[in-house]
Amino acid sequence: MGNQYTAHQPDSRGFIDYSREEHATWQILIERQLPCLAGRACAEYQAGLDLLDLPRDRIPQLGEINAVLTPCTGWSVVAVPALISFDRFFALLANRQFPVATFIRRRDELDYLQEPDIFHEIFGHCAMLTNPAFADFTHTYGQLGLSASKEERVFLARLYWFTVEFGLLDTPAGLRIYGGGILSSIGETAYALSETPRRTPFELQDVLRTPYRIDIMQPLYYVLPSLDSLYSLTRDEILAQLAQARQLGLFSPLYPPKPMQAAS
């Protein structure tokens, strides 16, 4: 990632001082994204967003998010550098702490950023963490990852990708989004529910065997029947399916290989 973005360090009171430009970027992102989510985001996300009551004209402080999250589900958010190790990531989730990189994208990268920034983390993920079923699944996932081998973590990454980041939900009102990677992306919010991508019912072993690329619109989404069905996945069941997935191997990718970059 280089030195393109540097996370802000909280002061002794936990306060992060953002610039006027950074607050303005937040306002652009949130005010253009909110109207796009009507009729697309799941009811659980909308309920969480109402609870968080995020400011429009400034980046919220992490303490404001925790004042809502902790009473709801025992979760909190923690400031981290732009990138953290898998060990740290899983340890935080296992402790019901969600890592938030405390920088925001530049104006010339409003539509897409490979590294998760504070808008993605707070607007995309924190509303769902007010939901007990989703919060419990994320906690279980962290516990699993903490004790998993390096090889197992690669498979577990796919489970996170196709649920927490890019999951869809089948509801009586129709398909709805619960994945934070979609909910924080103006392009993918419309694309995910369009006729272009494939959508298929969530099957744990299929998810564990599905390769993905982070830098394209997803060619395939997995659809859960309910958020409760996500939490009903026990640690033992996930590990058993993971062992089988490793034996069976990966599905063929539904996307072209990443173009080779010329050596500089």
pLDDT computed for residue 264 by the predictor:
47
Least confident of 71-75, 240-244, 255-259: 255-259
Region for 68 from its dihedrals, namely left if φ exceeds 0, alpha if ψ lies in -120 to 50, beta otherwise:
alpha
| Domain annotation covers residue 117 | yes
Q: What is the CATH number of the domain that holds 130?
A: 1.10.800.10
**Is residue 1's pLDDT more than 50?**
no
Quick check: is 2 in a domain?
no
Each residue of 25-61: pLDDT tens digit?
999 999 999 999 999 999 999 999 999 999 999 999 9
> 263 in a domain, yes or no?
no
Q: Is the pLDDT of residue 233 over 50?
A: yes
- How would residue 114 be classed by pLDDT, with cut points 50, 70 and 90? confident
Q: Is residue 4 part of a domain?
A: no
With respect to residue 7, please indicate whether it lies within any of the assigned structural domains. no
Residue 254: the pLDDT is: 95
Binding residues for Fe cation: 120, 125, 165
Predicted pLDDT at 217: 96
- Residue 227 covered by a domain: yes
Compute the distance between CA of residue 226 and CA of residue 95 in angstroms, rounded to an integer: 25
Q: If you average pLDDT over residues 96-115, what whole number do you get?
A: 94
State how beta strands 168-171 and 174-177 pair.
Answer: antiparallel
Give the mean model confidence (pLDDT) for residues 60-79.
98
Among candidate residues 121, 165, 185, 188, the one labeled active-site is 165
| β-pair partners for 37 | none
Count of residues in the chain: 264
Global confidence as pTM = 0.95
Catalytic residue among 120, 139, 152, 185: 120
Strands 97-101 and 76-80: parallel
Catalytic, 165? Answer yes
Instruction: Tell me if 90 is assigned to some domain.
Output: yes
Instruction: Kindly indicate the confidence band of residue 255, based on its pLDDT and cuts at 50, 70 and 90.
Output: very high
State which residues form the domain around 205. Answer: 20-248
How many domains in the chain?
A: 1
Annotated binding site: 120, 125, 165
* Band of residue 262 on the pLDDT scale cut at 50, 70, 90: low
Q: What's the pLDDT band for 257 if we cut at 50, 70, 90? A: confident
Query: Phi and psi at residue 23, in whole multiples of 5°?
Result: -65, -40
Catalytic annotation, pick one of 22, 76, 121, 184: 184
The helix, strand and coil proportions of the chain, stated in percent and rounded to the nearest 5, come to 50, 10, 40
Of 125, 139, 152, 185, which is the active-site residue?
125
- Whether residue 141 is contained in a domain is answered as yes
Instruction: Rounding to the nearest 10 degrees, give the CA dihedral for residues 175, 130, 158, 177.
Output: 20
Q: What is the mean pLDDT of residues 199-219?
A: 97
22 is known as an active-site residue: no
Spacing of C-alpha 200 from chain mean position:
20
**How confident is the model at residue 261, as a pLDDT?**
61
Distance CA 17, CA 59 (A): 10
Question: What residues does 41 pair with on adjacent strands?
Answer: 177
In angstroms, what CA-CA distances link 204 with 139, 158, 200, 247, 254? 17, 10, 12, 15, 18
Q: Mean pLDDT across the chain, nearest whole number?
A: 95
* Helix, coil or strand: residue 199: strand
**Catalytic-residue membership of 184:** yes
